[in-house]
């Protein structure tokens, strides 16, 4: 059996339900150990709709790029809060430098911009952040999902199936 993949998923208040839970469930179907991360361990967050919750297991500063195979960021309102966390931005930069898989969907791209990893890279996501990521040096591609190097991008909720396919291929089969 292949090695278990260790995946971090970031969460905060106002995360997009499906961009977190549909991705989480799909990756659990593969050989993965998923660690839910936030600024502080053992914090419970309500989703954007308020219907679902997620509880962090570790703080960003308690993990490092060497121990993760991938780090995924869901969209929603949470990315606007998460992009201000210096520990998470450092983890994103370290993951990128190590060429580990980083997944961004919808508004999650804000974190790529704040981590300053966008220069001359292609991206997709919510059109609401298109200008921000272009101003950070990225190049907009209007596709449901795609991978460029170690970055996996998803546009919006309806594109989760395509995003999940790209993530599974990148994390488990490439």
Q: What is the CATH number of the domain that holds 118?
A: 3.40.50.880
Catalytic residue among 100, 107, 147, 155: 107
Our CA dihedral for 50, 142, 23, 86, rounded to 10 degrees, sits at -70
Question: What domain range is 161 assigned to?
Answer: 5-173
Q: What is the per-residue pLDDT for 10?
A: 98
**Two structure tokens written together for 173:** 């089969």
Strand order in the sheet with 32-38: 58-59, 32-38, 5-10, 70-73, 101-105, 151-154, 145-148
Q: What is the per-residue pLDDT for 3?
A: 87
pTM for this predicted structure: 0.97
Residue linked to tokens 């209007």: 142
Q: What is the per-residue pLDDT for 1?
A: 45
How many domains does one find in the chain?
A: 1
Q: How many residues in the chain? A: 174
- Integer Cα distance of 141 and 65 in angstroms: 27
Q: What angle do CA 158, 162, 167 make, to 5 degrees?
A: 125
Identify the segments of the chain with pLDDT beneath 50: 1
Question: Does 107 qualify as catalytic in the annotation?
Answer: yes
Q: What is the per-residue pLDDT for 50?
A: 85
């Amino acid at each position: 059996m292949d090695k278990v993949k260790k995946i971090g998923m970031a969460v905060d208040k106002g995360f997009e339900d499906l961009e977190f839970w549909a991705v989480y469930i799909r990756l659990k179907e593969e050989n993965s150990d998923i660690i839910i991360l936030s600024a502080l361990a053992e914090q419970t967050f309500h989703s954007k709709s308020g219907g679902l919750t997620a509880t962090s297991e570790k703080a960003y500063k308690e993990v490092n790029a060497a121990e993760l195979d991938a780090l995924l960021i869901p969209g929603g309102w949470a990315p606007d809060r998460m992009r201000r966390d210096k520990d998470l931005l450092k983890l994103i930069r370290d993951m990128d430098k190590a060429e580990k898989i980083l997944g961004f969907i919808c508004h999650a791209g804000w974190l790529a911009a704040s981590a300053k990893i966008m220069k001359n890279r292609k991206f997709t996501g919510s059109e609401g952040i298109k200008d921000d990521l272009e101003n950070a040096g990225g190049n907009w591609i209007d596709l449901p999902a795609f991978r460029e190097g170690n970055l996996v991008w998803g546009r919006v909720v309806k594109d989760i199936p395509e995003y999940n396919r790209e993530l599974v291929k990148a994390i488990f089969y490439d």
